[in-house]
Structure 1
């Protein structure tokens, strides 16, 4: 209905205050008094108040009175014109959480063979009806409003596998929504599904404890990207089950799939978002491609990764099986979670159940948009924070995930992030939490944002280290060089990047990376920034970049395919570019097996020598020494008190010059990029090369 055709609106804007907007085209917007009628009891109250501003063709009135939220009311003016009282804006009041915060752990559907209880938090609604069906068996059940705005009902019937939605009524309007706490759903969020949790009890493999985050080597990959390439010969292409196949090989006979990751030696597999996202049709998953940073539901796995997205049990069981199979190979699972925004501010279960509550607004009531996706989650709202915590707990307990990578973490408030860590660590002492600490323009004071600048306020939370990225490979501008691409003016900055030098409160907070799903690959960037060089030289620079990433103090992070010089053909934002651009290219893996083997060596070196994994600054400063050699080469000198070698000297030379250094004869070369040798107490490090020496 067009606003100009409506003559009166009435909103509850506080718990004792109603705002009425009366059209200036209707009695000049003048009414001497108003009446509030309870439609359940027919009780009528006379309301008087003061006229306030005139705006957009309406005269506003503020009327003080008491009312019961969730009850149907109508407001009448002095001439008999009437409209329903709208509660939706009440969720933006400061007192809303005090009135309606619900700390129970029983929201959603809870099944037994004899009965199922349904509970939904919807304090602004005036009616909630459960619509539930299986095949032709369709029923409607009204829910009873209880304490804190929780509606509930118990159906004494075996409802295993039934589909359901809630019909949320707000006065004369109603809307259908899936259950934000449901354990499963059908394709494209059509309906939620009642699940017998006894059928999806998690069975898992025990894992060796992760004592310190610096013991981790993180490998980022998308579920679809991992297995979709024909050359990898994985049967369940683009599915969770693609991670469950063993013994798979490429067409050239090299290991693919999980056997390959096992061989490579990574400790953590970070998965691009696997919660239900909006932009791939789950019934036709091959028609569109998306990374998944457009969440539709946080509570269930993405259906395009399931063999049958309409099977509520498969949605859970196949996701569980993927996690279990990764664990079987002694690797942990990190989920990329997008708790900063949703795909559609209106078409999601949170907004439908409690309008205006779950999304952050500025002082003018406008939606905050620090995410650049049209909305930001209101993480300081108590029930929004509780929902995030409840979903994080579900992914840990029901699916067995071992940590979270938080997308655009700078939009989320510090208290919420610390609570996620505390809850996660209480469930699992090896829990990891890290994310993007960029300072986004969300409607939250800078002091409350989980940004890199505020890392001292989140001592157990890691941050993607953009200083490391921009120093080592160069910034995201394609033509600008970094240290490993030949800008030796950045030698001193590279030294700082390798050893952090107190940028973070803890070494364990530094997630060292030079490539991730965002932006161009390192290989593609070097084609532009180093286009004057031949391909072999650029390949060596890519390997230099990987070596510095893996061996630096902090937590190394590798993007899938980076270890075999992955390319997206110059695409710098491939979020919807399709499989041809985003797939893990197993044929390229075979082509650059020499690079893969070098990366495997660097990972093994890190895992078996604690000097690359110091987690205490004092310990690191006593055992790590790093020098600028002739303003071009980095000498990375490490000592340790255990292991086969007690001392390492590693040389990174991105310049074209042959640099000669003196070195003791009892050092031996464990790795050299250009067949360097130690002779007569000297080592010649060739141009664009690196050498690992130890004794």
Structure 2
């Protein structure tokens, strides 16, 4: 939402700066404005239009006399030497931005025993610094800006199981972020984790015959937490990935938990959200309750369902084990994916990397609220669409799941849904 501060400025195109100034701030007026970048260069701004708004602001549209450099840090100055950051806003939705910053390579951490490489897509960022911590050693290193808005750093050494996060300088401020491209996260989403893929102890795949038609499915919906939360049902690890498929003489005799599921004659178990959500404290999983429709990370599993939420690799192994046990029982697994909004937009990793790009908004900077959660994901920009398609592909490849159910699918665009369907069925025929 715009016009909350006395003086605001936004890059809404490569040749357009929108300035909003309150009437309570120097009468809302200035005879001239200019840009100043991080190298102390001055770029003059030419006035296109100026209008008085009914809410007590003066709106000025200006155009730079020189081309702007996306990722450079600019401030707008008025005639009184007052300044405000020039925020990269609707410029991120323009065709030129899409063309200049399209990147189809691999993003995220790449591990080897010799070094770990970090790669992020963040065209509007000015600087990015990664910090790693592994036991008693730590290191911080600035990522280098490459082509197409990609930042990259290679840090020598074996950093398996190191914790890391990024400090991102964008739109005039520093913010800390986890890695939205990683599948391995720490407790309460405070850090990401480097993992040597060869150390993952994943179970063997159990092939099931492809589903001939969606109408052949008999679906049972279940919450990982709720399915085994009752007392004295014979489960040692209730409300967890591990506990979901536990069996004992008690579960068999009383038909509880997994033993109950196997008697129902269903074809699919559809799990309520299993990826990281914001309203449960993973340090105290019994303190708050939520089904998981408030996502904060689309690739990292929910830590409150793990026996060791501070060990990112163990979450992956535990959930892969859940899928394996269901497949062993002849049951397919569907996942409920919540791609339509996030729990806290301001703290969301993709928003901190490229503000405004991943959310639907109008020209006044007001965010769409079709989800009634204060924000709606925009899946139409190319890199956003690619992120969600890649996320679905990687989930299928990593966990061997059999279907997806999309929460509030109508907020997502139909081209994305068709592309996800085609990609998942390419990997796994009969994918639902």
Report SS of the residue matched to 1:346: helix
Other-structure match for 1:391: 391
Contact 1:88 1:354 in 2 (8 A): no
* 1:126, distance to aligned residue in structure 2 (A): 0.9
Summarize deviations over 1:226-274 as a string: whole Å, max 9, x none: 11222421221001012332344349x2443333322322111100100
Shift of the 348–197 alpha-carbon distance from structure 1 to 2, 3 Å rule, reads same
Contact 2:90 2:356 in 1 (8 A): yes
Q: Equivalents in 2 of 1:279, 1:82: separation in Å?
A: 37
Deviates further, 111-120 or 257-266: 257-266
Other-structure match for 2:155: 155
Q: Which residues in structure 2 correspond to 1:135-146 (within 5 Å)?
A: 135-146=135-146
Of residues 40, 52, 55, the one that matches 1:54 is 52
Q: Equivalents in 2 of 1:83, 1:219: separation in Å?
A: 54
Q: Equivalents in 2 of 1:16, 1:406: separation in Å?
A: 38
Report SS of the residue matched to 2:425: helix
Shift of the 82–279 alpha-carbon distance from structure 1 to 2, 3 Å rule, reads closer
Report SS of the residue matched to 1:85: strand
Shift of the 255–51 alpha-carbon distance from structure 1 to 2, 3 Å rule, reads closer
Contact 1:248 1:259 in 2 (8 A): no
Q: Which residues in structure 2 correspond to 1:227-306 (within 5 Å)?
A: 227-250=228-251, 253-306=253-306
Contact 2:338 2:407 in 1 (8 A): yes
Other-structure match for 2:77: 76
Shift of the 326–4 alpha-carbon distance from structure 1 to 2, 3 Å rule, reads closer
Q: Equivalents in 2 of 1:205, 1:340: separation in Å?
A: 32
Report SS of the residue matched to 2:188: helix
- State the structure with more CA Rg: 1
Aligned length: 427
Shift of the 400–201 alpha-carbon distance from structure 1 to 2, 3 Å rule, reads farther
Contact 1:24 1:59 in 2 (8 A): no
* 1:214, distance to aligned residue in structure 2 (A): 2.5
Contact 2:251 2:259 in 1 (8 A): no
Contact 1:201 1:398 in 2 (8 A): no
Q: Which residues in structure 2 correspond to 1:92-171 (within 5 Å)?
A: 92-104=93-105, 106-170=106-170
Q: Equivalents in 1 of 2:249, 2:359: separation in Å?
A: 45
Other-structure match for 2:329: 329
Summarize deviations over 1:570-595 as a string: whole Å, max 9, x none: xxxxxxxxxxxxxxxxxxxxxxxxxx
Report SS of the residue matched to 2:250: coil
Q: Equivalents in 1 of 2:152, 2:114: separation in Å?
A: 17
Q: Which residues in structure 2 correspond to 1:602-617 (within 5 Å)?
A: none
RMSD: 2.3
Q: Does residue 14 of the first structure (1) align with residue 13 of the second (2)?
A: yes
* 1:33, distance to aligned residue in structure 2 (A): 3.6
Other-structure match for 1:352: 352
Contact 2:119 2:151 in 1 (8 A): yes
Summarize deviations over 1:42-94 as a string: whole Å, max 9, x none: 43333322341123333524124411010123333345444433224422445
Other-structure match for 1:628: none
* 1:152, distance to aligned residue in structure 2 (A): 1.0
* 1:164, distance to aligned residue in structure 2 (A): 0.8
Q: Does residue 410 of the first structure (1) align with residue 416 of the second (2)?
A: no
Q: Equivalents in 1 of 2:18, 2:426: separation in Å?
A: 46
Shift of the 236–421 alpha-carbon distance from structure 1 to 2, 3 Å rule, reads same
Shift of the 196–79 alpha-carbon distance from structure 1 to 2, 3 Å rule, reads same
Other-structure match for 2:222: 221
Q: Which residues in structure 2 correspond to 1:137-536 (within 5 Å)?
A: 137-170=137-170, 172-200=172-200, 202=202, 203-250=204-251, 253-362=253-362, 364-432=364-432
Contact 1:247 1:255 in 2 (8 A): no
Report SS of the residue matched to 1:204: coil
Gaps of 5+ in 1: 433-695
Q: Equivalents in 1 of 2:296, 2:45: separation in Å?
A: 42
* 1:24, distance to aligned residue in structure 2 (A): 4.4
Other-structure match for 2:92: 91
Q: Equivalents in 2 of 1:290, 1:123: separation in Å?
A: 35
Q: Which residues in structure 2 correspond to 1:662-677 (within 5 Å)?
A: none
Report SS of the residue matched to 1:264: coil
With a CA cutoff of 8 Å and minimum separation of 6, indicate the structure with the bigger relative contact order: 2
Shift of the 208–417 alpha-carbon distance from structure 1 to 2, 3 Å rule, reads same
Shift of the 370–24 alpha-carbon distance from structure 1 to 2, 3 Å rule, reads closer
Q: Equivalents in 1 of 2:46, 2:371: separation in Å?
A: 43
* 1:32, distance to aligned residue in structure 2 (A): 4.1
* 1:374, distance to aligned residue in structure 2 (A): 1.5
Shift of the 77–287 alpha-carbon distance from structure 1 to 2, 3 Å rule, reads closer
Q: Does residue 39 of the first structure (1) align with residue 41 of the second (2)?
A: no
- Give TM-score, length-normalised by structure 2: 0.92
Shift of the 82–248 alpha-carbon distance from structure 1 to 2, 3 Å rule, reads same
Contact 1:248 1:256 in 2 (8 A): no
Report SS of the residue matched to 1:286: coil
Shift of the 147–264 alpha-carbon distance from structure 1 to 2, 3 Å rule, reads same
Summarize deviations over 1:393-437 as a string: whole Å, max 9, x none: 1210111111101111122211111111001100000200xxxxx
* 1:384, distance to aligned residue in structure 2 (A): 1.9
* 1:27, distance to aligned residue in structure 2 (A): 5.7
Q: Equivalents in 2 of 1:80, 1:262: separation in Å?
A: 72
